Amino acid sequence: MVDVILGLQWGDEGKGKIVDYFAPHYDIVARFQGGPNAGHTLYIEGKKMVLHQIPSGIFHQNKVNIIGNGVVLDPVTLKRECEAVAAYGIDVRKNLFISDKTNIIVPTHRALDKASELSKGESKIGSTLKGIGPAYMDKTGRNALRVGDLLDKSFTTQYIKLRLKHQKLLDNFHFIEDISAWEEEFFEAIEFLKTLTIINCEYYINNAIKAGKKVLAEGAQGSMLDIDFGTFPFVTSSNTISAGVCTGLGVSPKQINEVMGVTKAYCTRVGGGPFPTELLDATGEELRKLGSEFGATTGRPRRCGWMDLVALHYTCMINGVTQVIMTKADVLDSFATLEICTDYEINGKQSREIPFQLSKLKVEPVYKKFKGWNQDTSNIKNAEGLPADMLMYIDYINQYIGVPVKYVSNGPGREQIIHI
Ligand code: GDP
Ligand code: IMO
Ligand code: MG
């Protein structure tokens, strides 16, 4: 049986905290897509830890954590992260397994990411520049190096072949960068990677499921950044939605049980692309300040805006979400009035559907106003303690999306979560 935790917005919904919270109920925690573009924040013993490659169940020593075949892996980031985790007494050689089919990010992928973004000028995606797009291009282009290849004598020859191909592309972009330092780090990290446990993930997971073990699949990015269903072309390069769990881990759709969708109580987006409810005024600034909305991977300020139910309804639909977890409700504590977008007005017509090419249309969000709860909720421990105005806000969301909000997170800490 596989349960899924994934993001319903444009990423950074608080998935890391939620996975860490639920991990004790599972035997295996597995990342199924994305790469070091992800930044999942956890608080361990009161200290902040941001994970980019390792699943967010790693701090539970007796759980197996898997990096699945759907992930693109930067060995340098992984090595650094394993060292950071080891400082907490975690032995990654015991509880971190990597699929032999995971694709490897090489230094020229990062250079290509930079070159491609530069060539786009004003219309750049706002990529994290971690090499994600080029790495997935090599996967679908059937050129990639995979973790299982490390065990092959011809790995270096294969690497050089790929680098030469990339060099031609970089020449086309007229992009020059000395990657020798990256390469040195890369080969050091490759040696480290060889010392970790490399598995055939699909057999491992399916055998575990057969033996009655419970698997938690951890999504990265968010559904509005999905390569097929997001705000294309301002998206990432993987399927971030629940269907990605099957191809990213090698499990059948029949094994998927709960799909837990994580949403903030408002919206944020980092990078370029359409964002209908974005607030470019003092309210947006207030959300950024109160929510500390700065990217966990790049430090960039996140764009902020009101909750968008047209988008949330859509992402619940394409994921088959069975329960919603609402994070950062506490960030709204001091607002006198809150707004929720219920419809998009496009060319004078109202609609509750996401149109094709949102990026090319002028969308006027239609809002419903709510009274704020105006009280500090960060110390509340149970549903009975939640303000009536917050419950009304949540109830409206439940009715609109047709899926219940089952948990409210009221602070970044491990214990700040309420079952409702
Ligand atoms: P992820 O990528 O989905 O794991 O989310 P990030 O870690 O990038 O961003 C979420 C940020 O919000 C992190 O700084 C978390 O510590 C923080 N956070 C998570 N849940 C809550 C919450 O309920 N309230 C507040 N105030 N912060 C939260
Ligand atoms: P987590 O897992 C928020 C955004 C980038 C950019 C676009 C493409 O922490 O929620 P890419 O590097 O994939 O080529 O960037 O996607 N992006 C994220 N935004 N959270 C993330 O991950 C993201 N990963 C990528 O900002 O707009
Ligand atoms: Mg993040």
Judgement on whether residues 327 and 404 belong to the same structural domain of the protein = yes
Judgement on whether residues 341 and 243 belong to the same structural domain of the protein = no
**For helices 180-194 and 75-86, what crossing angle results, to 10°?**
60
Judgement on whether residues 279 and 406 belong to the same structural domain of the protein = yes
The ligand minimizing its distance to the Cα of 298 is 2
Dig out the tokens for 48 from the structure. Answer: 């902040």
CA of 275 relative to ligand 3 center, distance in Å: 17
**Closest C-alpha among 382, 376, 367 to residue 417:** 382
Q: Does the beta carbon of 56 lie inside 6 Å of ligand 2?
A: no
**For helices 107-120 and 155-172, what crossing angle results, to 10°?**
10
Judgement on whether residues 81 and 57 belong to the same structural domain of the protein = yes
- CATH number for the domain including 341? 3.90.170.10
Number of other CB atoms surrounding residue 419 within 10 Å: 8
Interstrand relation of 323-327 and 256-264 (parallel, antiparallel or unpaired):
parallel
Catalytic positions, written as ranges: 12, 40
Nearest CA to ligand 2 atom 15: 127
Cα(109)–Cα(330) distance, rounded to whole angstroms? Answer: 39
Judgement on whether residues 271 and 344 belong to the same structural domain of the protein = yes
Dig out the tokens for 310 from the structure. Answer: 């047209």
User: Which residues form the domain of 169?
Assistant: 103-193
Nearest CA to ligand 1 atom 27: 412
Cα(5)–Cα(245) distance, rounded to whole angstroms? Answer: 10
Judgement on whether residues 311 and 409 belong to the same structural domain of the protein = yes
Q: What is the pLDDT of residue 296?
A: 85
Q: What is the pLDDT of residue 298?
A: 86
Tell which atom from ligand 1 comes closest to the C-alpha of 17: 19
- Measure Cα distances from 16 to 2, 40, 190, 233, 334 in Å: 17, 5, 26, 26, 25
Q: What is the pLDDT of residue 373?
A: 98
Q: What is the pLDDT of residue 55?
A: 98
- Residue type at 98 in one-letter notation: I
Q: Is 357 exposed, middle or buried (0-12, 13-18, 19+ CB in 10 A)?
A: exposed
Q: Does the beta carbon of 36 lie inside 6 Å of ligand 2?
A: no
- CATH number for the domain including 94? 3.40.440.10
CA of 10 relative to ligand 2 center, distance in Å: 8
Judgement on whether residues 269 and 378 belong to the same structural domain of the protein = yes
Q: Which residues surround ligand 3, an ion (CB under 5 A)?
A: 12, 39, 296
Cα(245)–Cα(284) distance, rounded to whole angstroms? Answer: 34
CA of 304 relative to ligand 1 center, distance in Å: 14
Residues with CB under 6 A from ligand 1: 7, 11-17, 39-41, 296, 327-328, 330-331, 409-412
Judgement on whether residues 144 and 222 belong to the same structural domain of the protein = no
Mean confidence (pLDDT) of the chain: 97
Nearest CA to ligand 2 atom 21: 221
Q: What is the pLDDT of residue 27?
A: 98
CA of 50 relative to ligand 3 center, distance in Å: 8
Q: What is the pLDDT of residue 289?
A: 97
Cα(181)–Cα(296) distance, rounded to whole angstroms? Answer: 25
Helices and strands counted in the chain (H then E): 12, 20
Give, for 198, the enclosing helix (H) or strand (E).
strand 197-199
Cα(407)–Cα(400) distance, rounded to whole angstroms? Answer: 17
User: 14 near 20, Cβ under 8 Å?
Assistant: no
pLDDT digits (tens, 9 = 90+) for 22-72: 999 999 999 999 999 999 999 998 899 999 999 999 999 899 999 999 999
Q: Does the beta carbon of 226 lie inside 6 Å of ligand 2?
A: no
Dig out the tokens for 380 from the structure. Answer: 């509340």
Cα(96)–Cα(213) distance, rounded to whole angstroms? Answer: 17
Report, as ranges of residue numbers, the positions in the chain whose pLDDT lies below 70.
Answer: none
DSSP helix/strand/coil, 336: coil
Cα(1)–Cα(257) distance, rounded to whole angstroms? Answer: 6
Q: Does the beta carbon of 227 lie inside 6 Å of ligand 2?
A: no
Find residue 407's DSSP bridge partners. 325, 419
Judgement on whether residues 90 and 125 belong to the same structural domain of the protein = no
Structure-token match 């909000």, residue found = 405
Q: Does the beta carbon of 135 lie inside 6 Å of ligand 2?
A: no
Cα(199)–Cα(96) distance, rounded to whole angstroms? Answer: 10
56, 123, 125, 221, best to mutate for ligand 2 pocket (most atoms within 8 Å of CB): 221
Cα(109)–Cα(130) distance, rounded to whole angstroms? Answer: 8
Q: What is the pLDDT of residue 278?
A: 98
Q: What is the pLDDT of residue 45?
A: 86
Cα(345)–Cα(365) distance, rounded to whole angstroms? Answer: 6
Judgement on whether residues 379 and 347 belong to the same structural domain of the protein = yes
The CA-to-CA distance between both ends of the chain, in Å, stands at 24
Domain count, the chain: 3
CA of 212 relative to ligand 1 center, distance in Å: 32
Structure-token match 């992800």, residue found = 38
The ligand minimizing its distance to the Cα of 125 is 2
Q: What is the distance, to the nearest Å, from the Cα of residue 97 to the centroid of all Cα atoms in its chain?
A: 20
Q: What is the pLDDT of residue 359?
A: 87
- CATH number for the domain including 187? 1.10.300.10
CA of 296 relative to ligand 1 center, distance in Å: 9
Judgement on whether residues 96 and 178 belong to the same structural domain of the protein = no
pLDDT digits (tens, 9 = 90+) for 126-158: 999 999 999 999 999 999 999 999 989 999 999
Asked which of 233, 260, 287 is the last residue of a domain, the reply is 260
Give, for 246, the enclosing helix (H) or strand (E).
helix 243-249
Asked which of 193, 211, 230 is the last residue of a domain, the reply is 193
Asked which of 147, 177, 193 is the last residue of a domain, the reply is 193
Judgement on whether residues 206 and 67 belong to the same structural domain of the protein = yes
